[in-house]
Structure 1
Amino acid sequence: MTRSHKYALQHRVRPVAAPLTAAVGLALAAQQLQAATITVDTLADTNAPGTCSLRSAIQAANQDTAYAGCAAGEAGSDTIEFAGISGVIELQATPGLSLLTISSDLIINGPGMDQLEIRPADGVSNRVLGIYAPADSVTINNLTIANGYTDVFDGGGIFSACRALTLNSVRLSNNASTANGGGLFHRPETIGSLTIQDSIITGNTAGFQGGGFGVNGSVVQVTGTAFYDNVAGNNGGGAFLSSPNPFTLIGNVFDGNQGASGGGLFLRANEALVQDTVFTGNSASGLGGGMTATTLGSATGSLDIRDNLFEMNSAPNGGGLAMVVFENTGDMSASVLYNRFYDNSASDSGGALFMNAQTGVTVTVGEGVALGNTAVNDGGFMTADLDGNALSIRGLQASNNEAGRRGGAAFIFAEALAEITLEGSVLSNNRAQPLGSDGKGGALYLYGNPGEFAVLESVLSSNRASQSGGGLYLNVDWTGAGAGTPPCRVKYSQISNNQASDGAGAALDQNEGACWFIASTISGNTATIAGGGIFHYGSGPVAVVESTVAFNTAPNGGGIYNYGKYESRTSVLGSIISDNAASTQGPDILGTNTADVSASFSLISDTSDSQLVDVGNNVLNQSAQLQPLANNGGPTLTHAILAGSPAIDAGSTSLGPTPYDQRGAPFARLIGDAMDMGAYEQQTPVPLFSDRFEEQP
């Protein structure tokens, strides 16, 4: 990425006013009533009489006395200004770690980051600026600090121990520390604050954490700032933040930074907001190429990552973003909302997003776009490792993501009865390709011991797996899941045009609990071996309820293949299984002697090889007369039924598990004397003119 593009990225973001900044400004204004203004009139680093250098001005402010050619500082927060000078101040070697030392409240107003640079002279290897007690509040505006260096100690460019540090329009460039905070490290003696606005932090290096800057024990606010080409030997190539106090980062750019975890940004907090920020071209050798966010421990709080762009970042796990949220006894939430994830990559799992969330944490992902992300192993877009907590994925658009093993869009490992919901989402054109022979779950792969899994009002379309589950693959043990409602529900959803060797629409390998497909359409899926629509070979029962399974193809079991490995049981209730095709056996349904399929109030257009158990009230060996898959209202596509179809009013007279057909409200499930079979209910035609016109005399 060119420098001009980097600056263009920086200027895309706007500074955000905040209460903290306003409060600091008011405090400074009050202090300035009893403060001096000291004017620097030379670029030379000297204490010669008759001239006022920056070094002398800081000394005058620290001591509240005149020094060299500088006016005396006063008791308040003094201000240092520059008298129409610009260029480079080269600092000569002095005793101590820092070439310049601030020990009183101070404001330094430079002429502009491109007009004034402060750096060590050639051959001098020291930190540029140290800020220590009794300084309480220091503000630095409109200048550049460059080429500082510390060995062992933190803060190559600036080290700050004051309570409140503010940087406005400051460039920190090419500074280095063998410890933490290449450009800046802020560590107040008590809980403090760090505010950075409209700045550039570039080319800095830390041997440990925080290549661009690091902070401990502070409220942090960073807005309108660009971080690029910074490097950390450990965490936080661009920035490292660790504190129980709130972090707010809005409108920033992290580009081309490198670190072990959090190539662009690493934050450890229980309260954080990262918003309207660009993460591009960052890399990590561990977690989170763009960003890593983790909690400090059991506490109440929230990690809120929203409205950001993660593009072309890379890491072994979580190419774009990694979140690790530890076991929590408080009220902790983590949300990843309204973000865009483009072309991120993981050499292991979670091409764009890796999440590890433990008991007591609520996690929400969605209302965003994931496009073109890749993982060598699992989760082309997302890998989630859940331990007894709840994950809600809603409003997600995930397309053209690819995993080498499992979960083209998402791989979810759920333990300790974790609860997962996929709602209002579209997962399309994702791929689980072979690494060996384990390409499963073209759109989504669920593994482990979850307590609940629900797919609601969602679309899994045109996904592909080299082995099993072109749309959906379940390899789960429902032991311990609550009784009553089935732990697995696919409802008001569309699974269409997916491809796999078996179970092109869905492949189910489950133990103990049931999986129900309710008011959903499984259509146009293609398997090269078995189970074009559904392939079931676990011991947990499967039910197809008020749904349509149509136009799927496979050599064996074009619509549904109920494999006899574990005496699998499949029930078809109030549904349409029609117009599926098999080149070998079982065009609509294929069962075995140990794994039969029962049906009631359902239409099955071809019962050949089905091993069907006819419970009653079925329409057998007749076409459902379905129209093509189309937008007939609602959030998903459906097959409408033609007038005269034998499925019309042939279902149960009692309302089933939902008051609406697949399209949701206002499409009522029961119109007429009985329900229509399948996912679509033919509605009463609406008159061309309303009653109020017909009632006119």
Structure 2
Amino acid sequence: MTIDAADPSPDPGDGIRIFDVTDPTFGADSPLVTLKGLTLRGGDPLDGFGGAIRSAARLDVRQCTFIDNEAALSGGAIYATAQLDVVDSKFQGNATSGLGGALYLNLLDESATITRSELSSNRSAADGGAVHGFLMRSDLAVVDSAFSDNAAAGGGGAVQAHLSDRSSLDVDDCTFTINRSEADGGALAVRLDDSSFVLNRSVVHGNRSEGDGGGVFAKTVAPGVNPFPTPRAITIAKSVISGNTAQSRGGGVYSYNTTATEGLIEDSRITGNVVPQDSQSAFRNGGGVYAYVVSPHTGENKPTFTIARSTIDNNQADHEGGGVFVCSKDSGNVVFLQSTISGNQTLDPVTGAGGGLFIAHVDNPVASVDAYLRNTTVTQNISPSGGGLATANLDRVRVRIANSIVSANFDRVGPGQAPSNVAGRLDAANTKFNLVGSGSTILALDGSPGTLDSTNLLHNNAPQLTPLSDFGGPTPTHALQFGSPAIDAGSNALATHPLTGEALAADQRGPGFTRPFDVAAVNHPGRGPVDIGAYEVNLPKVISVVVDGSASAHEPYDFSTALHEGEPVVGGGNQLRTIPVGRADRIAVRFSEDVPNVSSGSLTLRALTTGALQTLAQSGGFAYDPLAHAATWKFSAPFPADQLLITLADTVTSSWGDALDGEWVNP
């Protein structure tokens, strides 16, 4: 059913609202109102609140479509002050001159959900291109929904939220693409007071802000005692933040943490974000991530910002921090744990600093920021000063690096480039078991020439890393090649979380990739067996099996894409199933480690019903890429319509002679 309330006048506020949902109980056992299967179009109420619906009672909206509704003040489609659940619905072309182009939520001790819904091309002349929320002691969950081409003249191109007094915003399995903000937060802008924000298993791509946070802007404000089991206020987990642009700070993410709060990015990839050179902003810092930690407190009340098991790659900033810019006013902790910072760049050829990572401190002459890098890889970044890592404001920045690679970073792109790895002061007494390239200007905390002890492998510009690629786990990594000096060269005692002391049981890739792992053929007296850097050499595993073909009418099927309890299966997915790849004639297998003895005879393909064996093509039947750990078998004819048995031989081993960790046979 379609209800069209459109009026012929173009002027806002001279039409009607379609539904006004009131609460006769005034909050006591409010009845539930359900709207299902409706299309609501053209609402434009005189009072300016909720173009299609104004709701003060419990409202359940299912399988509804909201098109071209308008509100002069707030809530282009829906204005809600009570519980709201939106399921399997669409919001397109709604607008407001105030807050929330599609939805406006003003909740006290309530909850709201948006599930499996699409919000596109909505507009706000203020904040929240699609959704705006004021939440006090309330919760908003956004699940499996898509936000695209929404715009706000203020903050939050798609979503703007103000959370206070134990409120929460949880965003799971969502996509945010090509949203725009004239202020902060191209996709999401969140301000938190004693509240929490979680972005989980989501994609934020191609968004733009004219201020801070091209993808995500999150800021804690005026906190008291954090009410949550852990003080974490801002969490980005298992997500991809890519291709976003901010004109000021934080092309991908802007995170601001105050007293007794934590910001965390874990198991995520921040890639291809930009703070451009032509920006008019005075800052232009933090191409991938801009993090600010500020507090007058020390000890357990210090704010902490952590990047764990994540990859920050191919981001750009004009001035400082091509990959990550971290700044502290007063006191704060910054932790980089088992992460990869690669291929980032500062653009200004004179003032650029910290191509991969820039750490600074401002204003307070007695407080300091404590920064830790543990089992982290910083490589292939570009900046004229500190291509890998740079620090500023000197003795107020205490940087301690352990079990990490800072090597093969450079001062420029192209001819004449030279190594540029570290520029600034380090806590030399607590900087140990690292692989550090030349082109480093290292000072002690007091400004005197710095000297790192013999546990560090210095002036090493050849860490022997593969190109950044998928070697297992949720994020790409640089694998250690055979003969890398980083193998078994770290310190087990330092393979821990620097603040909690918890041992690192796996490398950046996560469960299934044990840390430490002793490579029997490598022996460094007084070292190891833990590896230096984010990647730990392990037993070789099959991480992906893709079946496709040049004549296939379907998308390739990747066995590794199967899920168990919502997570990708390490080492292969659902192996016994019908594969929708008609006329497929190719199988590609990726391994977690280099397996140099894999050959054309290492894979067998058998049709279970007919028993026929497939034969390889005479030309290009087998290829192996040792840097990508990828083998490809191409067969002479498309596979028959049958159940196929794919088997890998037990003779496939790593460069160190280790056999595959578990056979890969289907079924």
The two structures have a TM-score, normalised by structure 2, of 0.68
**CA shift for structure 1 position 563:** 1.3
SS of residue paired to 1:222: strand
Which amino acid in the other structure matches residue 294 of structure 2?
D
Equivalent in the alignment of 2:153: 347
Report the count of equivalent residues: 488
One of 645, 660, 666 as aligned partner of 2:512: 666
Change in 2 beyond 3 A, CA 1:598/1:524: farther
Equivalent in the alignment of 2:334: 515
Change in 2 beyond 3 A, CA 1:692/1:294: closer
Which amino acid in the other structure matches residue 514 of structure 1?
N
Matches within 5 A, 1:86-125: none
**CA shift for structure 1 position 179:** 10
One of 419, 422, 431 as aligned partner of 2:236: 422
Query: How big is the alpha-carbon RMSD for the aligned residues of Structure 1 and Structure 2?
Result: 3.0
Equivalent in the alignment of 1:683: 538
Change in 2 beyond 3 A, CA 1:336/1:184: closer
1:643 paired with 2:482, answer yes
**CA shift for structure 1 position 610:** 2.6
Q: Is the 8 A contact 1:447 1:476 kept in 2?
A: yes
Which amino acid in the other structure matches residue 262 of structure 2?
E
Equivalent in the alignment of 1:620: 458
Equivalent in the alignment of 1:126: none
SS of residue paired to 1:614: coil
CA distance in 1, matches of 2:246, 2:13: 43
**CA shift for structure 1 position 474:** 1.3
Matches within 5 A, 1:547-566: 547-564=376-393
Change in 2 beyond 3 A, CA 1:535/1:690: closer
SS of residue paired to 1:682: coil
One of 272, 275, 278 as aligned partner of 2:87: 275
One of 604, 608, 625 as aligned partner of 2:440: 608
**CA shift for structure 1 position 178:** 8.8
Matches within 5 A, 1:116-155: none
Change in 2 beyond 3 A, CA 1:280/1:171: closer
- 1:516-553 deviations in whole A, cap 9, x for unaligned? 10000000001121110001112312111101000000
1:474 paired with 2:329, answer no
Q: Is the 8 A contact 1:384 1:412 kept in 2?
A: yes
Matches within 5 A, 1:474-623: 474-480=291-297, 483=300, 487-501=304-318, 502-511=320-329, 512-528=331-347, 529-538=352-361, 539-564=368-393, 567-583=396-412, 587-592=420-425, 599-606=431-438, 608-611=440-443, 612-622=450-460, 623=462
**CA shift for structure 1 position 609:** 1.8
CA distance in 2, matches of 1:600, 1:484: 28
**CA shift for structure 1 position 574:** 0.4
- 1:319-361 deviations in whole A, cap 9, x for unaligned? 01111102x2xxx421112110100001111001001110111
Equivalent in the alignment of 1:263: 76
1:294 paired with 2:132, answer no
Q: Is the 8 A contact 1:588 1:610 kept in 2?
A: no
One of 207, 214, 235 as aligned partner of 2:49: 235
Which amino acid in the other structure matches residue 56 of structure 2?
S
**CA shift for structure 1 position 362:** 2.3
CA distance in 2, matches of 1:255, 1:268: 21
Which amino acid in the other structure matches residue 588 of structure 1?
N
Equivalent in the alignment of 1:254: 66
SS of residue paired to 2:100: coil
One of 458, 462, 470 as aligned partner of 2:268: 458
Which amino acid in the other structure matches residue 487 of structure 1?
T
Q: Is the 8 A contact 1:407 1:445 kept in 2?
A: yes
SS of residue paired to 2:505: coil
1:314 paired with 2:314, answer no
- 1:413-436 deviations in whole A, cap 9, x for unaligned? 212166111100100000012xxx
CA distance in 2, matches of 1:453, 1:188: 39
SS of residue paired to 2:384: strand
Which amino acid in the other structure matches residue 459 of structure 2?
N
Q: Is the 8 A contact 1:556 1:586 kept in 2?
A: no
Which amino acid in the other structure matches residue 496 of structure 2?
G
CA distance in 1, matches of 2:465, 2:399: 23
**CA shift for structure 1 position 393:** 1.0
Change in 2 beyond 3 A, CA 1:185/1:636: closer
Equivalent in the alignment of 1:164: none
Q: Is the 8 A contact 1:567 1:595 kept in 2?
A: no
CA distance in 2, matches of 1:311, 1:508: 34
**CA shift for structure 1 position 174:** 5.5
SS of residue paired to 2:55: strand
SS of residue paired to 2:139: strand
Q: Is the 8 A contact 2:5 2:43 kept in 1?
A: no
CA distance in 1, matches of 2:60, 2:36: 8
CA distance in 2, matches of 1:692, 1:353: 45
Q: Which runs of 5+ in 2 are unaligned?
A: 227-231, 277-283, 362-367, 444-449, 498-503, 519-527, 542-649, 652-658
Change in 2 beyond 3 A, CA 1:490/1:627: same
- The structure that has the greater radius of gyration is 1
CA distance in 2, matches of 1:652, 1:252: 58
Change in 2 beyond 3 A, CA 1:661/1:280: same
Equivalent in the alignment of 2:249: 440
- 1:391-444 deviations in whole A, cap 9, x for unaligned? 1111110000000110000111212166111100100000012xxxxx110001
Q: Is the 8 A contact 1:498 1:525 kept in 2?
A: yes
SS of residue paired to 1:638: coil
CA distance in 2, matches of 1:323, 1:192: 20
CA distance in 2, matches of 1:614, 1:188: 70
- 1:11-41 deviations in whole A, cap 9, x for unaligned? xxxxxxxxxxxxxxxxxxxxxxxxxxxxxxx
**CA shift for structure 1 position 629:** 0.5
Change in 2 beyond 3 A, CA 1:323/1:481: farther
CA distance in 1, matches of 2:25, 2:393: 67
Matches within 5 A, 1:14-413: 182-183=17-18, 185=20, 218-233=31-46, 234-243=48-57, 246-259=58-71, 260-269=73-82, 271-295=83-107, 297=108, 299=109, 301-315=110-124, 316-326=126-136, 328=137, 332-413=138-219
CA distance in 2, matches of 1:461, 1:477: 26
CA distance in 1, matches of 2:246, 2:87: 31
CA distance in 1, matches of 2:27, 2:313: 55
Q: Is the 8 A contact 1:385 1:414 kept in 2?
A: yes
**CA shift for structure 1 position 691:** 11
Q: Is the 8 A contact 1:555 1:585 kept in 2?
A: no
Change in 2 beyond 3 A, CA 1:393/1:471: same
SS of residue paired to 1:483: helix
**CA shift for structure 1 position 676:** 0.5
The two structures have a TM-score, normalised by structure 1, of 0.66
**CA shift for structure 1 position 489:** 1.2
CA distance in 1, matches of 2:457, 2:103: 57
**CA shift for structure 1 position 656:** 2.2
Which amino acid in the other structure matches residue 472 of structure 1?
V
Q: Is the 8 A contact 1:309 1:340 kept in 2?
A: yes
Which amino acid in the other structure matches residue 344 of structure 2?
N
